[in-house]
């Protein structure tokens, strides 16, 4: 019966929950460019204040040399009850394609049942949802039935590069019986999902050189090798014609799907026409996935390579010159059982082989790679999560894979001794995380908060 009191509190306080998210969205806590340290600090303070108001007295801001601040508070577990480590992040991606935003990016805006604003879905909505779920028990039912360790970081969008250092410095402080994260997707509105696999990522910079300085294109054009055209040719080698990426050795260790996994991918409710519409695919452009693969299989369990940046000179600064070099950044998503090091080696050999006009091609890693993660959605912890999603949403949940990367899940799960990692969906196909008009489905957001409130009561007690 206590859970019903918590659910009633959530239903009665939706506007205050909305206001909490609005407060965080208004803070430009961009972590990717190093230019928003003041906003990052301000957002950490705002999260601490919200946690204190929710009934987390003496919430701490944890400082680590060279890191953006963490916000942390623990509620001790009642006798025999488990403890959940709940993790989210308050940092966000920078804005892009500003002309496409239909409302102010830094003002949470209600429109057609959705909440629009940078960070609304990724992941300030997750921050507020976890705080509200705990608050619903403290203020609605009097106390929380489980122990809670709530940790909010400010570096997820730059790879959570200091998170493990923080936890390794005092592992007992963060020890728990499960990890709960709200930073993944649902396949559709009112279709709750729990993610059991993530792709990893290897990021590479490819540089093509022909000279040491630029030269007048009228005087040397057609004579001096053009690295911009050379780069296009080098990257063009990666294009595939509805088959595997043509890099020798890339697929040598890709884990084959079981028959059950193939069937789950086939049955995943991903409608191609809706998918194209949600992503703004131009009419006449075909999907690039391999022949015979579904969208789910291609994004969950097949490697991919995307050129996420190319540079020779800027359009604004264009000049009649043959440039001395051109560069690109590649985002390479990897899957079980690919080795990040082997992927780097295969791509380096392939991209540097037989360059046009004999130009020098260099390939280097940008930052450490992130390994893939996969688990079996089985056991009492997962069952409790699935039951809680069913209660919170009033719909049958699905266990799914995800094409994205959350770098801390695999090493943190190992550091905590193999406890279950419960990745609960907060986004949906219309969320546009990292893109213009990022949004959160408001009804699903409250359903997620209710689901976590149910999880606190249903998670198995310690034996």
With CA atoms as reference, report the closest residue to 183 among 120, 104, 109.
120
End of a domain among 337, 365, 393? 365
Q: Answer yes or no: do 80 and 176 share one domain.
A: yes
Q: Answer yes or no: do 155 and 59 share one domain.
A: yes
| pLDDT value for 314 | 87
Q: How many domains does the chain have?
A: 2
Query: Which residues, 6 or more positions from 220, have their beta carbon under 8 angstroms from its beta carbon?
Result: 322
Q: Is residue 438 part of a domain?
A: yes
Q: Which DSSP letter does residue 57 get?
A: T
Determine phi and psi for 269, rounding to 5 degrees: -75, 70
| pLDDT value for 198 | 96
| pLDDT value for 57 | 77
Q: Which DSSP letter does residue 20 get?
A: H
Q: Answer yes or no: do 324 and 295 share one domain.
A: yes
Question: Three-state SS for 194?
Answer: strand
Residues 263, 286: Cα–Cα separation, whole Å: 24
Q: Answer yes or no: do 95 and 154 share one domain.
A: yes
Alpha carbon separation from 416 to 38, 175, 408 (Å, rounded): 32, 6, 12
Task: Provide the CATH number for the domain around residue 124.
Answer: 3.40.630.10
108-144 pLDDT tens trace: 999 999 999 999 999 999 999 999 999 999 999 999 9
Burial class (CB in 10 A: 0-12, 13-18, 19+), 220: middle
| pLDDT value for 42 | 98
End of a domain among 348, 365, 382? 365
Q: Is residue 342 part of a domain?
A: yes
Residues of the chain with pLDDT under 70: 1, 463
Query: Which residues, 6 or more positions from 160, have their beta carbon under 8 angstroms from its beta carbon?
Result: 89, 153, 407, 408
Q: Is residue 272 part of a domain?
A: no
Residues 127, 254: Cα–Cα separation, whole Å: 34
| pLDDT value for 15 | 97
Q: Is residue 266 part of a domain?
A: no
Q: Is residue 305 part of a domain?
A: yes
381-433 pLDDT tens trace: 999 999 999 999 999 999 999 999 998 999 999 999 999 999 999 999 999 99
Instruction: Tell me which residue range forms the domain holding 148.
Output: 2-198+372-458
Q: Answer yes or no: do 331 and 244 share one domain.
A: yes
Query: Which residues, 6 or more positions from 317, have their beta carbon under 8 angstroms from its beta carbon?
Result: none
End of a domain among 335, 365, 395? 365
């Amino acid at each position: 019966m206590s859970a019903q009191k918590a659910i009633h509190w959530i239903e009665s306080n939706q506007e205050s929950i909305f206001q909490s998210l609005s407060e965080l969205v208004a803070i430009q806590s961009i972590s990717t460019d190093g230019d928003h340290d003041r906003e990052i600090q301000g957002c950490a303070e705002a999260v601490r204040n919200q946690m204190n108001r929710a009934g987390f007295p003496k919430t701490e801001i944890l400082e680590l040399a060279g890191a953006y601040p963490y916000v942390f508070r623990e509620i001790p577990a009642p006798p025999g009850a488990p403890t959940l480590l709940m993790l989210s992040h308050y940092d966000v991606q920078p804005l892009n394609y500003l002309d496409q935003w239909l409302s102010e990016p830094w003002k949470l805006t209600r429109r057609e049942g959705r909440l629009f604003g940078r960070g609304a879905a990724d992941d300030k909505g997750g921050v507020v949802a976890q705080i509200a779920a705990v608050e619903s028990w403290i203020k609605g039912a009097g106390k929380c039935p489980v122990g809670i360790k709530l940790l909010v970081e400010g570096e997820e969008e730059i790879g959570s590069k200091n998170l493990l250092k923080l936890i390794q410095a005092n592992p007992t402080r963060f020890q728990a019986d499960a990890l709960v994260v709200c930073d993944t997707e649902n396949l559709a509105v009112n279709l709750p999902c729990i993610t059991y696999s993530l792709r990893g990522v290897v990021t590479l910079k490819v540089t093509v050189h022909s000279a040491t300085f630029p030269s007048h294109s009228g005087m040397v054009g057609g004579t001096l090798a053009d690295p911009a055209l050379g780069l296009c040719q080098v990257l063009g080698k990666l294009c595939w014609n509805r088959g595997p990426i043509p890099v020798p050795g890339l697929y040598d260790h890709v884990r084959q799907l079981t028959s059950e996994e193939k069937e789950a991918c086939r049955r995943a409710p991903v409608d191609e026409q809706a998918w194209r519409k949600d992503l703004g695919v131009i009419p006449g452009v075909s999907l690039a996935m391999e022949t015979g693969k579904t969208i789910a299989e291609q994004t969950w369990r097949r490697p991919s390579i995307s050129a996420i940046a190319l540079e020779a000179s800027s359009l604004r600064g264009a000049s009649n010159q043959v440039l001395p070099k051109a560069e690109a950044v590649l985002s390479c998503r990897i899957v079980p059982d690919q080795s990040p090091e082997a992927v780097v080696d295969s791509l380096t050999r392939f991209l540097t082989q037989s360059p046009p006009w004999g130009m020098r091609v260099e390939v280097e890693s940008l930052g450490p790679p992130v390994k893939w993660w996969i688990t079996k959605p089985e056991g009492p912890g997962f069952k409790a999560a699935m039951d809680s999603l069913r209660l919170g949403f009033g719909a049958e949940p699905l266990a799914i894979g995800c094409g994205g990367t959350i770098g801390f899940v695999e090493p943190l799960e190992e550091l905590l001794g193999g406890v279950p990692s419960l990745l609960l969906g907060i986004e949906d196909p219309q969320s546009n995380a990292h893109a213009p008009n990022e949004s959160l489905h408001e009804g699903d957001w409250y359903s997620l908060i209710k689901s976590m409130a149910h999880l606190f009561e249903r998670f198995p007690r310690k034996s």
